[in-house]
Structure 1
Amino acid sequence: MDSIRILEKLIAFPTVSRDSNLDLISYVANLLDAHGVACQIIQSEDGHKANLFATIGPAVTSGVMLSGHTDVVPIDGQNWTLPFFEMTERDGRLYGRGAADMKGFVACALAACLKASKMTLKTPLQLALSYDEEIGCIGVRSLIGMLQLAPQRPLLCIVGEPTDMQVATGHKGKLAARALCKGREGHSALAPLALNAIHLGCDFVAALRRVQDRLARDGARDGDYDIAYTTVHVGKMNAGVALNIVPNLCQVDFEIRNVGADNPHEILDGVREEAARIAAEASTIAPEAAIDIDITNTYPGLDTPVSSQAVAFVKSLTGANNTIKVAFGTEGGLFSRDLSTPTVVCGPGSTAQGHKPDEFISVEQMRRCDDMLEKLLQRLADHQLPGAH
């Protein structure tokens, strides 16, 4: 079964992050089982979703792990001209939600696993499929916990996010937070006697913009990124019940995406100081004024040394002469930090095609990924790996 036919099956599973991925996981487990490959299923606490881990080859040896997430972003509000949970092949492109991000790589990885099941590998091939990556690399953490207790940890990890098959050695870290701005409600006809929480929220957003300006002007730089400095972004503001009520609560969701030289928690400490100053000024109107900030999610960046054996090895599989860093986050930072596993990001398709209507991946990109993994299988059979012994 080739990668394109597998992709067709995978796209048909509507694995939006808010929904279950169990049907897709069951399909993968059954497909591998039919080829003699056993799987470990790690269910979420509520049993609604699951990770999958499989090993082909000698289980007593560290292997090369192919990592992918099974969830996709929603199609709500998007103007698709083609079916979103049905693969459409047209003019050398394969359309459907998740085609690029990142069921294309998962399909190639599964096709490689089926080939590996018929080979005698001296070094194992491992497959790690996760859930809830799109909402903050959440699901993979239980899979990493399992691997932390395993006798061997992966020798190398390839995260197959879409990079146009370029070898990416890094991505920024992310800290997501929520600020709850507390004012005092009142009738809008007497608005000056109340404390508008939206005004507090706007003052807080202005403070975040000042932090961003300082980082852009004076902050650490990493020229390998499109945006070379740490960014601060406000994504949501929720407040208000009715126009004639001065709102007493305003919720602001924001994030910090940091380059390796910056500590996002130190930046957040500065943000908290600004929030406390704003609330103190407002307390002259309403003593209960406050801006409380909670971290809602965080994951580390990835910064694998370009000179490492792991990077040289993956470059030898793709034929690449250079490396890149990607703007989006991945599970790679967690694998690197929590397992001390050298990790690179390399997969078919372009992130420019993900998260949008009529998402697609090209047949040419799928074939290039198939070729990379075919070379990997030969190395696993020959035991030609960085650090293998």
Structure 2
Amino acid sequence: MDVQITTIGALLGLAVAITLIIKKLHPVYSLILGAVVGGVVGGAGLTGTVNVMMSGAKDIMPAILRIITSGVLAGVLIKTGAAAKIADQIVKTLGEKRALFALALSTMILTSVGVFIDVAVITVAPIALAISKRLGYSPILVLLAMIGGGKAGNVISPNPNTIAAAENFGVELSSLMMANIIPAIVGLAVTVLLTSLLAKKFKVEKSVEEVVADDLEAEELPSFFAAIIGPLVAIALLALRPIAGISVDPLIALPVGGLVGVVVMGKAKHTNEYITFGLTKMMPVALLLIGTGTVAGIIKASTLQATTINFLNAINMPAFLLAPFSGILMSAATASTTSGATIASATFGQAIMGVGISPLGGAAMVHTGATVLDHLPHGSFFHATAGATNMTIGQRLKLIPYESLIGLSMTIVSTIIYGIIL
């Protein structure tokens, strides 16, 4: 007999996990403990709870394997200076007059080629802080530019959130990456518009520690062509499926791109060092996803999705709104694009397709929805980006409404395309 967990149990489990994360308990253990509480309170008993948690973790293993192998490309981009070169070249090309656009575009491109959004922000931050000081922009403003660009790049990237959504909806990763190109462009445009409108509101704050960027010219950075070749190879391999009908899994495409890049940059002898570094960057995410998988198992076995659908019906909301709504809800619960997209797609995927939404459309709407509230203070992204720009918690909190607006703009566009038009 299948285990069924009550909606109250699932919600309580989520609440416990969020509370523990806010209280600074490690997120992996917080999620696992939340899953245990949710299962037991929800009526599954200890044995049933453990079985459901194991099932949820097992379901997420394919995505974890792909994330671990993507560390090859990420490690090469970061350790060779390729990521910094790409960002620096874009800023230099567009000039100081378009500095905020350049920062947003740099972070968008880095994220879209497979760099984690928090790592992309940290990579661009020294350039952003130098521009902030030189042009009199507040660090709050330049951080908003980087975050908005990162969010736009995240919905068209081969990053863990995209991999998880594609896996759970059974669609090709390259197809999902291309599906949200228009929402990503809108997100970038909204970012630039917001930073322009807020330029006067967020004036330079003397309380923010001034940080001068490292002199990128003095570093031994690769050429722009060499820096970009690895990501281009990875994207080309992923694009073979829609173009030529040849399926290359990201588990293969991303490491190959990284290895080609390290050879082109003449750093082959450092390959083991770079991929080891990349693995260390991916392991916390992989572990987090194991914890996320246990919670996803509890939610999937619960009546939460039926309750959510009934709620939407009761307030006469169109059924297709289940896709973006679930992404938003789960991103708020976990303060993570990856965890939000993973839990929402694993839990609500079948129900979303059951109301007539295509797998690709459902994945696209869930994915953009997961960018709306993924920056809340109980998540690591909030604190990583604050630290990268030397902000206090109070200063970082000021950005939350604007970050949410950028994510919401992409979600609305994606929903119009896949929920109304297509």
| Alignment TM class, shorter chain as reference | under 0.3
Bigger strand share: 1
Query: Which protein has the larger Cα radius of gyration, Structure 1 or Structure 2?
Result: 1
TM-score, normalization by structure 1: 0.27
